Structure 1
Amino acid sequence: MSFDYDLFVIGGGSGGVRAARLAASEAGARVGLAEEYRMGGTCVIRGCVPKKLMVFASGFAGAMQDARAYGWEVTTGGFDWTGFRTKLEAELSRLEGIYRTNLQKAGVEIFDSRATLADPHTVQLADGTRKTAKHVLIATGGRPFVPDFPGSEHVITSNEVFKLDALPGRVLIVGGGYIACEFACILNGLGVEVTQYYRGAQILRGFDEEARGHIAGAMQDNGIDLRLGTNVQRIDKTAEGLWVKSTDGHDAVYDAVLYATGRVPNTEGLGLVEAGVTLKGNGAVEVDAYSQSAIPSVYAVGDVTDRINLTPVAIREGAAFVETVFKGNPTKPDHDLVPGAVFTQPEFGTVGLSEEAARERGPIEVYATAFRPMQTGFAGREERVLMKLVVCAETRRVLGCHIVADGAGEMIQLAGIAIKMGATKEDFDRTVAVHPTMAEELVTMKAPVRTG
């Protein structure tokens, strides 16, 4: 059978773009790609990139306060959100253009259109045009989830926060995951009065408990009104703003309510089930170790599969798909020991097992220290950083590393290399410290604080 394309990709995010570009440029495949919104997906347009630029912007208020402590005469005004947003949008457009140009250079045919799966080898565009392909790759990512409750139509999500006409004076953030905590810190740093509700006992569920508590304390010390065990009952729009009735009786009025209560895979209305693709209970595409769905011609990568929902993982999955399908080199994407960072203030870098998860596997030793770093200590800030290693008592391998500190994301990338290579605690110990740095504590902790 003759097909229009060797590969048709639905979704122009990081995973789909990488797969399309590599299949065309390195494997000589005929590739088509459809994207209904903007090239670059969640990460570039409404996720990692704009968020990190907002993180940078939000950190300057504290930096200027520290500058005064170091002897600088600093005069500041208010934050110019409109000016920042204008420059942010220009930067995102620039990055989107790079994505589009790189695809075109590789020979990928781009369709600025929504696409659905008509059958295992046919994609239908929004105008009714049909394209056939030997292989179809679903890379449609995910979207924010907002539960249905009285007044839920008044809330915004992380998708809309980058496009606000003005910063709210008072904001309620609902959720306890990394997106909720990051935006709580960002908006707090930009001068917004921030309240955060989380229905659970502690934020950042699934991460190391000691690190979670450390971050929660720091957020509260920085002025965020963090209310645990609390949820929204209803929201009413009034002349003063959004009136929120809460489960803890802390009813209040806010200028905006931002929900960050999880994300769901973008599979609704794509025709996947009708074509025979199996979906999980949350709508994610069920795939095997090679990203192949229940239909042999249909594959999926990235957040739409709900494996590890991180941009670099989606990129690796896209590259492994090309190796497997177009280069004759069956390759499983490596999901083991993936480093990650949560861009709270201070940052949280983590790789490997939490103390709790490691203890379930066998005897461990825990090395940890919390201290005031030199730079902020001199400026008079009480903020403390946390450095933590979780070690297997039998093999001596470092099973997990957790850092809460400014620059933790940069540090964990390098620690992740050592841990991925199987470094032992003794490998850390015999590495000479770089002094004076915060990271030197990773190689100078000699005695465990806990065993078990």
Structure 2
Amino acid sequence: MTDFDYDLFVIGGGSGGVRAARVAAAETGARVALAEEDRYGGTCVIRGCVPKKLMVFASGYGAMAQEARAYGWDIQDGSFDWAGFRDTLNAELDRLEGIYRSLLKNSGVDTFDARAAVKDAHTVALASGEEFTAKHILIATGGHPVRPDMPNADLGIVSDDIFHLESLPKSILIIGGGYIACEFACILNGLGVDVTQYYRGAQILRGFDDEARGLVAEAMREQGIDLHLGTNIMEMTRADADHALSHAGTESDAAMGAPVRDQPVTSPKGDPGKDHGPIWVKSTNGTEKVFDMVLFATGRDPNARDMGLEDVGVKIGRRGEIEVDDYSQTAIPSIYAIGDVTNRVNLTPVAIREGMAFVETVFKGNPTPVDHDLIPSAIFTQPEMGTVGLSEEAARDQEPVEVYCTSFRPMQSAFAGRPDRVLMKLVVSQANRKVLGCHIVAPNAGELIQLAGIAIKMGATKEDFDRTVAVHPTMSEEIVTMKTPMRKA
């Protein structure tokens, strides 16, 4: 007979926390509870991957009529109904949240719709005043978008707010060059919004393969996105009659400050852009312009503050992340953490894997470290980028490599007279011939990289790729038909 109320108490109802809770309960018979202060499903289901991907789909239809006409179809351009799409989107998110709640209930997990904090190594305190003890506590509270530390930053919105807009703006300035900034630039551009993007770095998508991200940037510009590199926001304020829509100013080297790290940005219940009105912005290149809306996509931080964790001895890192070992265990043996709150690899499938490894380790007696090596990922720009393994730059810093690469206009868009180009790239070790990295920029690159990821995870060599017969005519056949390296490094 245990002295604890539960064997496991999970704080956070996102994909990782829900998976760990229900598997621990259903497969090991553990007594499990879970607390979630907002909506079940977390960032991915409610304000991230799922609604964003549905918006990606929606944004792609705008260009289809023109392409269809090139193929002989008498199809006229149409208009996009944001309100109708948003209502259908919200209904889908409600459905998915209901599934998450049902999975927990059917697995025997007790759920509490309340904010939770850690009182001590074995006690969880809810905002409702209730307290429960647990042999193990799992923190899976995810992360939140951050705003820059600058005057009037509250005039801008963050990525969570996009899904709450009552109407789309006519123009928007997006600040940032990471995958969230670039994805929403493409989405909103495809939905008919006039998109300008500022990024203070030399090229968007820092950390990804240089050649691949260069092609994405080129494609974004071709689609009409006004992308400014080496540029940042310097000042912003509510526009008034004295602000012209666009005029030149003096050049400045001032840059946006560091993001505010202390408070999460919470999603508003109403329309976050409803009462904002036009916003005047001055950039570091001296340009002044008025936009209907400003979106900050300048990073995300873990949700680990104000939970009592440091008071009980859990170590918190510089970005606010919970520090854990290879088994997701914190400095307090009874407390574990998984997912974005640990700031390891911030991807939903990784959080789920970490949750499963936690259950194996703690409840099944099978110590299982989390494997964070060779994780495929996709960026849902237009075209998409799929990547697994090392970039060319990272690989050549590690060892001598060969680079096999081709860029071309795919059959479908070439026939329609579109300028779109795709990229297929393999980075290969000269020593053992293993494929160290694969990078694809193409429509549906996310679907393609998943399959390439299997081979690379298995340790496939370039010769293994060469022995594979091509599927013709496809874009992806180029992955197995590149015989001569473009360069060696």
Q: Which amino acid aligns with 1:148?
A: D
Q: Secondary structure at the match of 2:164?
A: coil
In structure 2, what is the Cα distance between the partners aligned to 1:82 and 1:65?
A: 24
- 2:261 corresponds to which residue? none
Instruction: Choose 423-432 or 237-246, whichever is displaced more.
Output: 237-246
Structure 1 residue 319 and structure 2 residue 356: aligned?
A: yes
Q: Is the 8 A contact 1:150 1:233 kept in 2?
A: no
Note the C-alpha offset of 1:265.
0.3
Q: Which amino acid aligns with 2:122?
A: H
> Counterparts in 2 of 1:56-71, with a 5 A limit?
56-71=57-72
Q: Secondary structure at the match of 2:99?
A: helix
In structure 2, what is the Cα distance between the partners aligned to 1:120 and 1:251?
A: 53
Note the C-alpha offset of 1:112.
0.3
Structure 1 stretches of 4+ moved >6 Å: none
Q: Secondary structure at the match of 2:381?
A: coil
- 2:137 corresponds to which residue? 136
- 2:15 corresponds to which residue? 14
Q: Is the 8 A contact 2:66 2:77 kept in 1?
A: no
Q: Is the 8 A contact 1:139 1:300 kept in 2?
A: yes
Q: Which amino acid aligns with 1:18?
A: R
Deviations 1:189-239 (A, max 9, x none): 000000000000000000001111111011001100000011111211125
- Structure 2 unmatched ranges of 5 or more: 241-276
Note the C-alpha offset of 1:360.
0.9
Deviations 1:421-440 (A, max 9, x none): 00000000010000000000
Q: Which amino acid aligns with 2:213?
A: R
In structure 2, what is the Cα distance between the partners aligned to 1:65 and 1:8?
A: 54
Note the C-alpha offset of 1:77.
2.6
Instruction: Choose 33-42 or 59-68, whichever is displaced more.
Output: 59-68
> Counterparts in 2 of 1:216-365, with a 5 A limit?
216-239=217-240, 241-365=278-402
Note the C-alpha offset of 1:251.
1.1
Instruction: Choose 233-242 or 38-47, whichever is displaced more.
Output: 233-242
In structure 2, what is the Cα distance between the partners aligned to 1:22 and 1:332?
A: 17
Note the C-alpha offset of 1:151.
1.3
In structure 1, what is the Cα distance between the partners aligned to 2:199 and 2:331?
A: 37
- 1:408 corresponds to which residue? 445
- 1:170 corresponds to which residue? 171
In structure 2, what is the Cα distance between the partners aligned to 1:77 and 1:417?
A: 40
Deviations 1:19-68 (A, max 9, x none): 00100000110000000000000000000000000000000011221111
Deviations 1:241-266 (A, max 9, x none): 10011101121111110000010000
Q: Secondary structure at the match of 1:186?
A: helix
Q: Secondary structure at the match of 1:386?
A: strand
Q: Is the 8 A contact 2:8 2:137 kept in 1?
A: yes
Q: Which amino acid aligns with 2:58?
A: A
Q: Which amino acid aligns with 2:208?
A: F
In structure 2, what is the Cα distance between the partners aligned to 1:165 and 1:192?
A: 14
Q: Which amino acid aligns with 2:479?
A: L
Aligned length: 452
> Counterparts in 2 of 1:41-60, with a 5 A limit?
41-60=42-61
Deviations 1:370-409 (A, max 9, x none): 0000001001101110000000001000000000000100
- Structure 1 unmatched ranges of 5 or more: none
Q: Secondary structure at the match of 1:26?
A: helix
Q: Which amino acid aligns with 1:410?
A: E
Q: Is the 8 A contact 2:172 2:194 kept in 1?
A: yes
Q: Is the 8 A contact 2:62 2:78 kept in 1?
A: no
Note the C-alpha offset of 1:449.
0.4
Note the C-alpha offset of 1:163.
0.8
Q: Which amino acid aligns with 1:25?
A: A
Structure 1 residue 208 and structure 2 residue 209: aligned?
A: yes
Instruction: Choose 407-416 or 238-247, whichever is displaced more.
Output: 238-247
Note the C-alpha offset of 1:70.
0.6
Between the aligned residues of both structures, percent identity stands at 69
Instruction: Choose 247-256 or 285-294, whichever is displaced more.
Output: 247-256
Q: Is the 8 A contact 1:337 1:416 kept in 2?
A: yes
Instruction: Choose 72-81 or 35-44, whichever is displaced more.
Output: 72-81
* TM-score, normalised by the number of residues in structure 2: 0.92
